[in-house]
Amino acid sequence: MPPLRPALLLALAAAACGRRGADRPPPPPAPATAPAPAPAPAAGPAAAAAHLAAPERVRFAPRVTATGTLKARQASVLAVSVAGTLERVAVRRGQEVREGALLAVLDTGAASAAVRQAEAAVAAARAQLALAEDALARTERLRREEGASEAQATQARAQRDLAAAHLAAAQAQAEQARVHLSHHRLVAPFAGVVTRVPDGVGITVSPGVPLVTLVTTRELVLETSLTQSEAAELRPGARVAVSLPGIGARTADAVVTVVVPAVDAATNRVPVEIAVPNPDGRFLANAYARADLPRGAERDAFRVPAPALVQRTGGHAVWVAGADGKARALPVRLLAEEGETAVIVPEGGAWPEGLRVVTDPPVGLAEGTALAQVRG
């Protein structure tokens, strides 16, 4: 058989392959795949939970705060004016006494004897005067009957006048002795509290040596000062509130008594004195105190919780919920802090009605953050 040509052989091989492929079953269809999900829209910032409240409208009287030291209205270091031995101390430290109460006594032995001696001299002088007056009366009767001369009558009158003078001198000496005796007793010149007493008795006391210190506590005086602008409208008689920051004592019945019409050269401030009533002794002499004094006329303002106030560059602000429920920071001017609240006025115009303040701004609160009201 003649050899096959190469082209024919290739054709036959291709036909055989095609028959084998036709005899195989078709491949299974590919499983259907779910369409890919569309990308989710980007989520916005979460709302910030906050307590919201309407600010309270108030009438506010501008005030100025001043500090100073409470002084006793009267305070005296008492001493005796005579020398002697301290015999008795009649009071104790911290005791409240009335005016005229006995505080201390010196030994009165010698002084009492001097009084008795002076009183005896008065009695003798009075007796001498009685004799002189009787002699004058008899002499004048005899003179009328021409039984005594004019010279005798003149002498009798002179004796009577001399006896009267001796009596006056004796009485003066007796009074002096009684005064000297009284100086051995130290008494309270006014009602108050004893703050200092001698350590013991039996000591020799010299005139002018301090024995007892007495202060009044029913009314104290707060000595303070203000700047010239702060004192410009302050007048005596203005009612002020005074408090002791250390112990919380407070009264609204204190009264301005002195506004010195001159500036202290050392401090360039105006001295002011305030009378502080202290009937129950809550206020302590020499304690540090604070006074809230009026300054100017009343004005409209808002009261908000103190935590609502935040520091801003150059001042203060509060966070509020805008009409769209998003946070806005509004600048305000702080007028006063009153315990857990603050009194403020808006800067740059009035606030719209229905404004709500964030009473407890969360940390990191930013302009435009959505606010979610927290109930309760």
Instruction: Report whether 333 contacts 347 (CB < 8 A).
Output: yes
Return the minimum-mean-pLDDT range out of 15-24, 91-100, 115-124, 260-269: 15-24
Find the angle CA(258)-CA(191)-CA(194) to the nearest 5 degrees: 105
Tokens of 267: 């401090």
Rounded to the nearest integer, the mean pLDDT of the chain is 85
Return the minimum-mean-pLDDT range out of 109-118, 213-222, 367-376: 367-376
Return the minimum-mean-pLDDT range out of 7-16, 148-157, 247-256, 291-300: 7-16
pLDDT in the model for residue 313: 80
pLDDT in the model for residue 242: 94
Q: Taking residues 14-39, report their average pLDDT.
A: 48
CATH number assigned to the domain covering 63-107+184-296: 2.40.50.100
Q: In the CATH hierarchy, which fold is given to the domain comprising 52-60+299-373?
A: 2.40.420
Instruction: Report whether 83 contacts 204 (CB < 8 A).
Output: yes
Residue 268 or residue 32, greater confidence? 268
Q: Taking residues 174-182, report their average pLDDT.
A: 94
pLDDT at 150 over 50: yes
DSSP-derived secondary structure letter, 159 = H
Rounded-to-integer distance, Cα 64 and Cα 81, Å: 47
Give the three-class secondary structure for 354: coil
Q: Taking residues 21-38, report their average pLDDT.
A: 49
Rounded-to-integer distance, Cα 155 and Cα 148, Å: 11
pLDDT in the model for residue 20: 47
pLDDT in the model for residue 141: 84
pLDDT at 124 over 80: yes
pLDDT in the model for residue 9: 44
For the CA atoms of 363, 369, 375, 376, what is the dihedral angle to 10 degrees? 30
CATH number assigned to the domain covering 108-182: 1.10.287
pLDDT in the model for residue 26: 53
Q: List, for residues 39-60, the tens digit of each pLDDT value.
A: 444 444 567 888 888 899 999 8
Rounded-to-integer distance, Cα 205 and Cα 102, Å: 17
Q: List, for residues 264-311, the tens digit of each pLDDT value.
A: 999 999 999 999 999 888 898 889 999 988 877 778 899 999 999 998
Mean pLDDT is highest, among 22-26, 86-90, 283-287, 318-322, for: 86-90
Q: pLDDT class for 355, splitting at 50, 70, 90?
A: confident
The β-bridge partners of 243 are 250, 290
pLDDT at 191 over 60: yes
Structural domain boundaries in the chain: 52-60+299-373, 63-107+184-296, 108-182
Rounded-to-integer distance, Cα 62 and Cα 192, Å: 37
Tokens of 295: 């300054």
pTM: 0.55
Mean pLDDT is highest, among 247-261, 295-309, 325-339, 340-354, for: 247-261
pLDDT at 153 over 50: yes
pLDDT at 85 over 70: yes
The residue among 68, 101, 70, 92 whose CA lies nearest residue 282 is 70
pLDDT at 173 over 70: yes
Q: List, for residues 63-81, the tens digit of each pLDDT value.
A: 888 999 999 988 999 999 9
Q: Taking residues 21-41, report their average pLDDT.
A: 49
pLDDT in the model for residue 336: 83
Q: Report in angstroms the alpha-carbon separations of 257 from 63, 111, 235, 271.
A: 18, 45, 8, 11
